[in-house]
Structures are given as structure tokens and as C-alpha cells.
Amino acid sequence: MPTPAAIRQAVFSVLRIGLGLALAAFMIRLTLRSAGGHLGAALGDADGGLLVLAAALYGGVICLTAWRWGILLRVQGVHLRFADLWRLTMIGQFFSLAIPGAVGGDLVKMSYIARRVPAGKVAESVLTIVLDRLIGILGLFTVASLMVLLNLPFLLALPPAHRAVQVAAFLVGLGSLGGIAAVLLVEYRAPLLRHPWAARLLAMAARRTPHKLADLVRRLVTALELCRRHRAAMAGAFAISVGVHSTLALLLFTVGHALGETKLSLSGYALATQVANAVAAVPVTPGGLGLRDFGIKLFFDALGAPAAQTGNIPVTMSLIISAWALLGVGVFIVTRAARPAGEPAA
């Protein structure tokens, strides 16, 4: 019988998910209403071939994401088939819709991967999911920084009515500096740890940390060191991240042209995509739905896109992302049904 604490946690989780879904629905409705567009009519008149291409591009994003994770796992000595990586990535897509924030699916992937690798590699495998997320964010901020530079004259000339767009672009663009600092911290970790104050802090922590936790930390540090030694693999993972976020910009551009928008440049689409995706990473709505749409709409307004299309384009992109996430439901069901005898349920 569930304990009172478990019941409270379950109720809290349901409320959090419900509030996240409600906020996402409100933001999407606000995006469409403020733009004055009629999504159903727009989709009826859209170029079907370009919409199929846009859906295929997001399928490519999922494949690239699975490939990047596989690279990080191999660095840790864990080898999974691409089909398994793709399946777990699809399951993560599904749960990203069910759990507010962009990292909800990662938590589920951690649970699954922990049962599919040798016991001695669980901590390292879980770390790859965290690293995969961080490398993805670094790729996002890198592409965003490039887009901010390309669109700098436009951003500086924005009137006060679009100040929020201007500030958001600069903040996200500067985020790449944090990523560079993190890379330098990992690269020069050894000299920093030899500093007297760092040695004293580590010694104090070692005395007060439980043995099992200390062992876990040591294994995670070793895993990070392996990543540092495999610079080519890490560079490849970063390049894939840049490819992922560039493809997302191309996806939005394709959706725009499918709906008849031809005024905005590809760099404008890329700028709106990167900044909106950074905002969508805030754990408020499932998969960033609603937040991403409204953020893109604000950028489209500033870029001078036709009013009706500023809402229809990002919401259509969200429909494509949601369709792939719902496909993950089927993958999740099949994966559970094919679970070997004796393996615990998810």
C-alpha cells in the first residue's frame, strides 16, 4: 500500500504536469489569437510536400541526437546498437511531453539505460545523458551567438517596443561564454585541483562524504577525464549539436515556406529558433510547448513577418514535434512488451 509521502508526491506530480499542460495550451492559444491567424485554414492551403520534408527534418534531428549520445557512451566503454539508442531517444521524446521542461525525457532515459548496461558502468552511462544535454546546450548557444552576430545591426536598431526580443537575443548569445568557461574548467581541472584551497576543500569533503557517494563521485570524475582525453570524439559530439540546432532552424524555415511566408531570411529564422529554444529549456511547460511558440512569434513580429503567419508557423512546428513525441508512445509500449523475462518494469 502506498505511503502518505508517496501519495503526496504522486499528487504533486500530477498537479505539476496538469499545470504545465494548461500553461502550454494557454501560451499556444495566446500565440494564435495575438497573430490573428486561422491555423486550420493555413494548413489546408499549405504545401504538403514541404510539410512532409519538415517532419522528416525533425526525424533527422532525433537520429542525430541518438548518434551523439552513442559517441559519448563509447567514450565510456559502453556500446549500444543504434536501434537501441534511437528507441531510448524516442522514449525520451515522449516523456518530454509528459514532464514539464526539456530534461524530463532525460530522467526516463537514465532509468532505462541503468538497466541495460553492466553494473560497473551505470554511473558513467548516466553521466553521458547529462553530458549529452550540456553539449546540446553548448551547440545551441554557439549557433545562437553566430546568429546574433549576423543580425547585430538589426537587433541594435530595434525600437523600444521590441526591447524584450533584443534583451533575450543578447542574453542567449552571451550564453556561449558560459559554455566556453565550462570547457576550460574541465580542460584545466588538474592545475585547479592542485591549488592549496582546493585541496583543503576536497579533503574536508572526503572526510564528511559517505563511502558510497564518494565512490560515485570518483567514478564520475574518471568518466569526465575520459571525455577530456577523447577530444576528437567530444569535438564530433559538439559538431553534431551544431548540426541539430541548424537543422531545427531549417525545419522552421521549411514550415514557413510551406505556409507561404517568403519575406524572412534563413538567418532570421535561425535567430528566432535558437533564442526561443533556449527559453523553452526552462522547466515550465512539457517539452517547452507554448513558450517556444510565443518566443518565435515575438521574433517574427520584430522581423516584420505577416501577422497571421507569426503564430501559425511556430505552432505548426510544435505540431510536428508533438507528432514525433506521440510516436514515442508506440515505441515505449513496444519496448515494455518486449522486455526480457526478469527485467524490472519501468
Domain boundaries, the chain: 9-337
pLDDT score at 231: 79
> How far apart (Å, rounded) are the C-alpha atoms in residues 296 and 169?
12
Handedness of CA 324, 31, 297, 175 (dihedral sign): negative
pLDDT score at 219: 56
pLDDT score at 47: 95
pTM attached to this predicted model: 0.82
Type of residue found at 335: T
- Name the stretches of the chain with pLDDT < 50: 102, 340-346
What cell was used for 127?
553521466
Evaluate whether 30 touches 57 at the Cβ level (below 8 Å): no
